[in-house]
Structure 1
Amino acid sequence: MNDDTPELPNTTRRRALMLGAVGAAAVVSIPPALASTAASISTCEIPVPDSGRAGSYIAADGTVVPAGTRGAFAPPGRPFKGEEVKTALAGGQLPGTNYEQSRAYTNYIRRLQSGTSGFTCFASLQMPRG
């Protein structure tokens, strides 16, 4: 037999242990990343409307209209937290609003586009969680 034969099982075992250690480190690092994402979702904010259109009203379909437009809603007094929006998008209601206001504001949020204040927060709400 070859001199390498006795070392083969030890080498294989060592490699398996090293791979297991690497795999365990990867598993341990995933939950903190998810926790960080969850924390950022609950603390991120979505202004309605964005600061570039502050003072404008929100129509029932979520479009931004001039202040005082009949049937439109004045902006809320503060930005909504990501967790509040997540709840509203799942069928709940935004805090401090009635049904119609909440629906108009969530329609506005659904229309957010890249580059608009609050878009990154809204996009993170759409990401599936593992």
Structure 2
Amino acid sequence: MLGAVAASSVVTIRPALASTAASVLNCKIPIPDPADSGKYIARDGKLVAAGTDGAFRPPSRPVTGDEAKKMINGQSPPGFDPNAREAYVNYIRRLQHGTSGFTCYASLQMPGR
């Protein structure tokens, strides 16, 4: 009897975990945070004034969790400047609690993501 209960629990939990994993990959990380719109991203991930030499224009839209994961793993997703990838990754790694995109990035750091 206990085996039947455990089996039904597994069936119930697995779809929930799959749904959670999918939502993490679809979460959004704006670069930069909306409060800092108009700034560029230096190679080290710090925000600088627009037009700063060696800095990159922010992407035209927020980065999804899946795209952020690819960038962190060394890939440049379609639509993103491959030369800016390192700057974007460094910006994402510098995110702190209270900054837009932090929860998304933190979720990507959880085991199994």
Compute the TM-score of the two structures, normalised by the length of structure 1: 0.79
Q: Which residue of 1 aligns with 2:23?
A: 40
When residues 92 and 122 of structure 1 are mapped into structure 2, their CA distance, relative to the original with a 3 A threshold, is same
By how many angstroms is 1:98 displaced?
A: 3.1
Q: CA RMSD in A?
A: 1.6
Q: Which runs of 5+ in 2 are unaligned?
A: none
Where in structure 2 are the equivalents of 1:5-24 lying within 5 Å? 17=1, 19-24=2-7
By how many angstroms is 1:120 displaced?
A: 0.8
Compute the TM-score of the two structures, normalised by the length of structure 2: 0.90
Residue 91 of structure 1, aligned match among 65, 74, 84: 74
Residue 12 of structure 2, aligned match among 1, 19, 29: 29
Amino acid at match of 1:96: G
Q: Which residue of 2 aligns with 1:10?
A: none
Q: Which residue of 2 aligns with 1:68?
A: 51
Structure 1 runs, 4 residues or longer, greater than 3 Å off: none
By how many angstroms is 1:119 displaced?
A: 0.8
- Distance in 2, Cα, partners of 1:66 & 1:94: 25
- Distance in 2, Cα, partners of 1:44 & 1:32: 18
Q: Which has the higher contact order (CA 8 A, sep 6+)?
A: 2
- Larger-gyration structure (1/2): 1
CA contact (8 A) 1:94 1:102 kept: no
When residues 82 and 120 of structure 1 are mapped into structure 2, their CA distance, relative to the original with a 3 A threshold, is same
By how many angstroms is 1:113 displaced?
A: 0.9
Residue 34 of structure 2, aligned match among 48, 51, 67: 51
- Distance in 2, Cα, partners of 1:110 & 1:48: 12
- Distance in 2, Cα, partners of 1:39 & 1:58: 28
By how many angstroms is 1:67 displaced?
A: 1.4
Amino acid at match of 1:60: R
Q: Deviation per CA, 1:50-73: give whole Å up to 9, x if none.
A: 111011110000011111211111
Amino acid at match of 2:28: E
Q: Which runs of 5+ in 1 are unaligned?
A: 1-16
Identity of aligned residues (%): 59
